[in-house]
Structure 1
Amino acid sequence: LVEEGFLPEPEQFIVPTPHMSFVWGDDNVDYLRRRYEALKDEPLFLGMRFSTDPKQIAEWAPALMVGRDKDQRVAATYSSAGTDVNFGALTKLLLQGINQRGAQVYLDTSVRSLKRGKDGIWTIKLRNEIGNATREVRAKFVFVGAGGGALSLLQKSGIKEAHGFGGFPITGQFLRCDNPEVVARHDAKVYGKASVGAPPMSVPHLDTRVVDGKPALLFGPFAGWNSKFLKTGSYFDLFASLRVHNLYPMIRAGLANFDLVGYLLGEIFSTREKQLDALRQFYPDLDPDDWYLIDAGQRVQVMKKDAEKGGVLQFGTELVTGADGSIAGLLGASPGASTAVPIMLQLLEKCFSDRVDSWRDELTKLVPSWGTSLNDDFDAAVASMTHTADVLALAPVDPDAKPDDVSVVESADADGEFEVEV
């Protein structure tokens, strides 16, 4: 899209940001080493590095090591090929692009109802949130991409494929720092390991983020709770979504996941000091005054009926499509940008099976690797990553990169803490 001029300069929505995994303790160090050994020779992990050397880790991300006890075993993997994407900015740019090419984009507008007529055409009733003016739109195909609000809209559509799905809202919170001196100490997205009983989307991470052109640090996520399905939703959202067909699956899923329930309760009643202690595991030398809590978004954890267990949690993304292919929607705790392209290709194959073959050549131009496994073809993987890096001004790919395992080197000051010059 950048090459075609559909999107402007890539730095408006994407910037190079190294990605790291960081762990401490003997078991976790051993785990990360084994994971590295399993991945280092895979084409899509080209150039990933591993180290247990505090000095090397401090070069990658100084904030991780300043003030850390020298006796604590640590390990990290590092990839310079990571990025930080401002998906809010990217969404606006994409909407501007389709609007300039003739699509109508309604902002400040909510969907009040949607119903399929006998002629197969959907009628969607809309209301403008400013002035409450209403309108109707008729469409042959409807895609419901409403985040946490998708479940309610799919229920309103009346399609039986949405039966048995329930949702439980979880508020995502982060500690944020805007102090330029602190932000300058850390240029990476650093992921740890999730706590026992925590859902996969709760993996703690300390991220360099660029928000509206200004760098910041974010750490989290922490879980909060209210009954809204969207940040701007209603406190009745959860209760309005309850149906005869989804109540039993939701109860069964809850009973089978007491560890998750316990984790959420612990998060909800967590104190600021406990949140800062979690951050100190990544940033030992923090100043509490530099960090403040923000509500980042609202997730809806999906539960669905299961023939054997009655109900299960669905941690991935669920693509729900009507039997006739005229409506589709995304459900899931994180049906987001990282999975958007493969999900949309899957949607095309499901909902437009009679037309997708005629689109295949054009789609393959957009996604050359569609239908293949890049990780099975070293040359194709390198070519794809190199082209992407060139067009989006990202870190270059080195096809001759060699795995780099650095041995442990201890260094300490008189107080027994690792010394790092920042």
Structure 2
Amino acid sequence: MPKTTQTIKHSEFVLIGGGIMSATLAILLFEKFPGKKITVIEKLPKMAEESSEAWNNAGTGHAGNCELNYTPEKDGAIDPAKALKTAQQFYETLDFWKDCADKGYIQNLSKCISSVPHISFVSGKKDVEFLEKRYQVLKDTEYFKGMKFSTDKEEIEKWIPLMTQGRSKRSSIAATFFENGYDVNFGEVAEQIFRFLDKQPNVSLIKNSNVINLQKTDNKRWLLSVKGQNVGKHWKIVSNYVFVGAGGGALPLLEKSGIREARGYGGFPISGLWLRCTNPEIIEQHQAKVYGKAKKGSPPMSVPHMDTRVINGRKELLFGPYAGFTTKFLKHGSVFDLPKSVEFDNIMSLLGAGYKNLPLVGYLIKQVKLSFEDRMNMLREFYPEAKDEDWKVVVAGQRVQIIKKDKNGKGKLEFGTEVIVSRDKSIAGLLGASPGASTSYSVMKNVMEKCFN
């Protein structure tokens, strides 16, 4: 079939990717620039089906309550900086969602957010001492008041009965308990916002369409080439401003833009798996998001957690994550995503990061080789009496860890979220994963301040 090109369209703002980040930015643009044309382009048939979709992420409202890797121990002292910053950003985002509900942008907030306690759980003398020191540092700060700490097995059993059953009475355990934690269905948040936006005359939501190229025009606007789902259907759109919020697909698009600020970045894709509980009686006995401590030498994404989730109104119980290596940047992506992202500007960053993160490479190799029983044995370190017949493996989403040049020009792996903005402020992109969606308002507010103030 011959390639056809529709008439070139125009939109003041084009947002690539239909997830929680684009939904948030679209609302901010909708309010700041009333009546201006906003276009959101999504590759998949529905909005929020990739990284924001409930089964593709942990659903944790990351506020530093239970994530032990947010409070590293340095020279015997706990550094709370990341936990405090993440908590501030999460509660800003929570307030934004509540405001969206008040304004009618979100119709049913209770379908998006559920109250679930956040718990940190450790065993062994050294980790018990670490958890108590962490508690002492955080307990009197603004966002962590009300946190409880205990080494009493009877009290901990009330918090997490599944995880205390079958343990030796002589084992040393400890936990912190934060009652006002949250489970968030980020996909539902995004979908409800997009439903509102879809009814607005100045907003267009275009699905089943993939942005395959973007370049600057002579009049300093952006010309985007778009491929529709139908074979041979190509079209173009011109915009004054572009936001690339396409999850793992953001890096290739930023590379195609040619902006200097994106040079030297690389991406390391990692796939995810969960163990999902299939026994309703077990699911009902657990009511918390419980994060443990990664084993020595393991990367941050290996932190084990057993999570109560509420997905489509149904209570679920997941354990993981288990990682796997993939060359796809998106769950619905291509095996050629990683090879195509390698360029002259970033090849040294990629090689340097690989060399400096050999333990991560070894960890991924081991994860890929895990059998079902291996995964169950890891679960039993958390939940000693777990039975094989009560759990099954489900596939989670993809995440792309950022690789960037350090001050010496060598590559290093980043585990956070990073905003890239061009010098002329006409294009911005988002790279990275955690804490990601939990801080979506704070991150997009940062984009607005950088591009429009």
TM norm. shorter chain > 0.5 = yes
| Equivalent of residue 275 in structure 1, options 375, 379, 388 | 375
Of 98, 101, 106, the match for 2:206: 106
Larger displacement relative to structure 2 (130-139 or 290-299): 130-139
For residue 310 of structure 1, what is the aligned residue in structure 2? 410
**1:82 is aligned with what amino acid?**
G
Amino acid at match of 1:73: S
The residue number in structure 2 matching 1:398 is: none
How do 1:319-334 residues align onto structure 2 when only pairs under 5 Å count?
319-334=419-434
1:166 aligned residue (259, 263, 266): 266
CA distance in 2, matches of 1:277, 1:130: 46
From 209, 228, 232, the equivalent of 2:332 is 232
* SS of match in other structure, 1:41: coil
**How far does residue 132 in structure 1 lie from its aligned partner after superposition?**
5.2
SS in structure 2 of the partner of residue 6 of structure 1: coil
User: How large is the Cα RMSD of the aligned pairs?
Assistant: 1.4
- Counterpart contact for 1:299–1:334, Cα < 8 Å: no
> Identity rate of aligned residues, in percent?
46
Matched, 1:76 2:175: yes
TM-score by length of 1: 0.81
**TM-score, length of structure 2 as denominator length:** 0.76
After superposition, residues 229-378 of structure 1 pair within 5 angstroms as 229-308=329-408, 310-334=410-434, 336-353=436-453
1:96 has 2:195 as partner:
yes
Q: Which has the larger radius of gyration?
A: 1
2:246 matched to 1:157? Answer: no
Assess, with a 3 A threshold, how the Cα gap between structure 1 residues 198 and 132 changes in structure 2: closer, same or farther: farther
Question: Quick check: 1:176 aligned with 2:176?
Answer: no
Q: Specify every segment of 5 or more residues in structure 1 that has no aligned partner in the other structure, as ranges.
A: 354-422
Q: Is the 8 A contact 1:176 1:216 kept in 2?
A: yes
The residue number in structure 2 matching 1:45 is 144
Residue 208 in 1 paired to residue 301 in 2? Answer: no
Shift of the alpha carbon at 1:139? 1.1
What is the alpha-carbon distance in structure 2 between the residues aligned to residue 327 and residue 270 of structure 1? 42
Report what 2:51 is aligned to. none
Return 209-218 or 338-347, whichever deviates more. 338-347
Alignment partners' CA distance in 2, 1:145 and 1:259: 30
Matched, 1:32 2:131: yes
Q: Quote the residue 2:286 is aligned against.
A: 186
Q: Does residue 123 of the first structure (1) align with residue 223 of the second (2)?
A: yes
Tell whether the 8 Å contact from 2:325 to 2:365 is kept in structure 1 after alignment. Answer: no
Q: Which amino acid aligns with 2:277?
A: C
> Deviation digits for residues 273-319 of structure 1, max 9, x if unmatched?
22111111111111111111111101112111223151111111111
Letter in 1 for 2:288: A
The 8 Å contact of residues 178 and 215 in structure 1, kept in 2 or not, is answered as no
Partner of 1:19: 118
8 Å CA contact 1:147, 1:335 repeated in 2 = no
SS in 2 for 1:320: strand
Aligned AA (1:91): A
CA offset digits 1:239-282 (Å, max 9, x no partner): 00110111111111111122222212221212222211111111
Q: CA deviation at 1:130?
A: 4.5
In the aligned structure 1, how far is the partner of 2:297 from the partner of 2:210? Answer: 36
Specify the alignment match of 1:66 in structure 2: 165
Q: CA deviation at 1:47?
A: 0.8
**Partner AA of 1:96 in structure 2:** R
Q: Which amino acid aligns with 2:298?
A: A
Q: Return 229-238 or 117-126, whichever deviates more.
A: 117-126
Secondary structure at the counterpart of residue 313 of structure 1: strand
How far, CA to CA, are the matches of 1:221 and 1:298 in structure 2? 12
Which residue, out of 87, 91, 103, partners 2:186? 87
Q: Would you identify which runs of 4 or more consecutive aligned residues in structure 1 move more than 3 Å?
A: none
Change (3 A) 1:140 1:74: same
Give the corresponding residue for 1:412: none
> How many residues in Structure 1 have an aligned counterpart in Structure 2?
353
Match of 1:135 among 235, 239, 249: 235
SS of 1:42's partner is coil
Describe the SS at the equivalent of 2:420: strand
Separation in structure 2 between the aligned mates of residue 170 and residue 62 of structure 1, nearest angstrom = 32
Does the CA-based 8 Å contact 1:116-1:122 persist in structure 2? yes
Assess if the C-alpha contact under 8 Å between 1:252 and 1:309 holds in 2.
no
Counterpart secondary structure, 1:216: strand
Offset of residue 163 of structure 1: 0.9
The alpha-carbon deviation at position 20 of structure 1 amounts to 0.3
